[in-house]
Amino acid sequence: MNPDDIAAAPAAAAAIAITPRASAWPRGLLGPWLRQGARSALLLQPRWDGLQVHPLVPLALLLGATLLSFGLQRLQIDGPAYPYWRWILEAGLWPLILAWISYLLRPHTSHALPTRAAPSAMHLFCLASAQQLVLNLVSGLATALAVRLGVFEEQAHLGWNFVLFVWTPAIWGVLALARLFGGSGTLRARVAAAACLAGSAALILGLLQPYQAWYPRHDEDDEAEAGSRPRFELTQEATEAQPRLLAARLGELKPQRRGVVDLYAITFAPYADQDVFMRESNMVAGVMADRFDTRGRTIQLVNNAGTVGQWPWATPLNLRRAVQRAAKLMDRDEDILFLHLTSHGARSGHLAAEFGPLSVEQLTPRELKAMLDEAGIRWRVISISACFSGSWLAPLSGDGTLVMTAADADHTSYGCGRLSDLTFFGRAMYDEQLRTQTLSFEQAHAAARAVIKQREEEAGKDDGYSNPQISMGSSIRGRLDALQARLGTTVRR
């Protein structure tokens, strides 16, 4: 053995002895990332020295951001709520965009980079994640506080409160990311910053996406009943049968009768996880057939495992096809299209849709209006039984349209749990008023409002009266009067 090696051996052993064992989670690892994330969130240049890249850092930041957003959204709902797990799919899109831009900017570590640039793609990705976590914390807490104080009324993406609490944080987040990604000043950085702005559009568009982490719930769910419900299996047979079933149901619709004010009815129940919407769809369709002479001119679109062989799926595409078919059969100057939508609703106006494992897009009031306009439907009666459904009023209202909702834009409706036979709105409006008391939608809605208010108070609804809304166009009233005159004003029991 070399004498020099022998002499160096004790020193090496001592060095090994005093070297501390690396812990699975180095102490103080996340703090610097969060501090620099906050700094970059203020549009300041971050300091990269002291930021340690560790395999657990991106995991902790991403998991922390997801749980934080999940919890903050829960704070924005006053009262009982249930999670909507499909939200995770939407939440997972943004980290992928950040990772792609980070790699685009730093595909390889280089010692020639400016000192203000991120040392590696992992550094850039982790700091971008930390920045978004900090921004989400601040904006989420502000929004939750505003909701609790009754300041935030999320209506149609246009109100000042929506701009202040939603659009402003989103735009600030885009600017902060662009500043972070373009901070090195290199050509690649500027190109990547432009890519960041394009990718960040996904963040802003995410504000318009249908999915949210929580939906209000007022009724206690019966898990035993839920476990006994049939499960939907997305088989090849079921998939191939749907186009045939839709074609058959649309083919059964009868054409209009010359000189007769006909009513065509479509019910739309896109949320399969609770049978109350299926039951309400069937009840409303029955009332329309029995009282408004729509037999042979009614189609139900329902998402439920128990109706897959009976009714077509409740998807926006099927709804569009049903509307187009009705338009071809109607006398558009004479006949009326009735639409009843029943599901959970969001403040943004999206109608919840669930039929796992099938992926179903959620319907918005603007999409529905576009369908009706495209089909050339002139006379419209639209009924929305959902929380916050008052947000549908402005986009759908018009001279030839009657819009009725189960709630205003700021309150939940009631009666949408697994133990509910019908929603409070569906029962009062259709099962009780239109079935036996009147043929006037306007009178039925007015009477239902008083009944719903009393029942909500008796049930202990703690977030205020749902306050059902109605908008009657000046021209549609004459059409409805003509329909009522044809059907007769006497009540048929």
Contact yes or no for 213/74 (Cβ under 8 A): yes
Establish how many alpha carbons lie within 13 A of residue 354's alpha carbon, considering only the half-sphere containing its beta carbon. 20
Dist CA 160 CA 369 (whole Å): 24
Q: What angle do CA 367, 368, 372 make, to 5 degrees?
A: 120
Per-residue H/E/C for 56-78:
HHHHHHHHHHHHHHHHHHHHCCC
Is it true that the peptide bond before 468 is cis, omega within 30 degrees of 0? no
Dist CA 214 CA 156 (whole Å): 19
Contact yes or no for 467/390 (Cβ under 8 A): yes
Dist CA 301 CA 319 (whole Å): 7
Q: What is the per-residue pLDDT for 316?
A: 96
Is it true that the peptide bond before 357 is cis, omega within 30 degrees of 0? yes
Contact yes or no for 102/128 (Cβ under 8 A): yes
Establish how many alpha carbons lie within 13 A of residue 213's alpha carbon, considering only the half-sphere containing its beta carbon. 16
Q: What is the per-residue pLDDT for 11?
A: 46
Max Cα–Cα distance, the chain, nearest Å: 116
Q: CATH 3.40.50.1460: which residues of the chain?
A: 238-487
Sign of CA dihedral 174, 175, 178, 179: negative
Q: How far is CA 405 from CA 140, 264, 294, 467, in A?
A: 29, 19, 22, 9
Q: What is the per-residue pLDDT for 339?
A: 98
pLDDT per residue, tens digit, the chain (493 aa), is: 454 444 444 444 444 333 344 445 556 678 888 888 899 889 888 888 878 877 778 778 877 877 887 888 787 776 667 676 666 666 655 666 666 566 655 555 554 455 566 677 778 778 888 888 888 888 888 877 877 676 655 433 445 666 777 778 877 887 887 778 776 555 555 555 555 555 555 454 444 444 567 766 544 444 434 445 667 788 888 889 999 999 999 999 999 999 899 999 999 999 998 899 999 999 999 999 999 999 999 999 999 988 988 999 999 999 999 999 999 999 999 999 999 999 999 888 889 998 888 889 999 999 999 999 999 999 999 999 999 999 999 999 999 999 999 999 989 898 877 667 899 999 999 999 999 999 999 999 999 999 999 999 988 887 789 999 999 999 999 999 999 999 984 434 3
Structure tokens at 133: 């976590």
Dist CA 185 CA 179 (whole Å): 10
Q: What is the per-residue pLDDT for 31?
A: 87
Q: Which helix (H) or strand (E) holds 323?
A: helix 316-329
What burial class does residue 272 get, using C-beta atoms within 10 Å of its C-beta: 0-12 exposed, 13-18 middle, 19+ buried? buried
Look at residues 108, 103, 96 and name the one whose alpha carbon lies nearest to residue 124: 103
CATH C-level class of 238-487: alpha beta
Q: What is the per-residue pLDDT for 210?
A: 44
Q: What is the per-residue pLDDT for 15?
A: 41
Dist CA 423 CA 151 (whole Å): 28
Q: How is residue 309 annotated by DSSP?
A: T
Q: How far is CA 247 from CA 76, 107, 261, 322, in A?
A: 43, 52, 25, 10
Q: CB neighbours (10 Å) of residue 42?
A: 11
Dist CA 153 CA 263 (whole Å): 35
Dist CA 356 CA 229 (whole Å): 14
Dist CA 294 CA 285 (whole Å): 8
Contact yes or no for 487/292 (Cβ under 8 A): yes
Helix ranges, 341-440 (H) = 365-375, 393-396, 424-426, 435-436
| pTM above threshold 0.75 | no
Q: How is residue 47 annotated by DSSP?
A: P
Dist CA 291 CA 35 (whole Å): 66
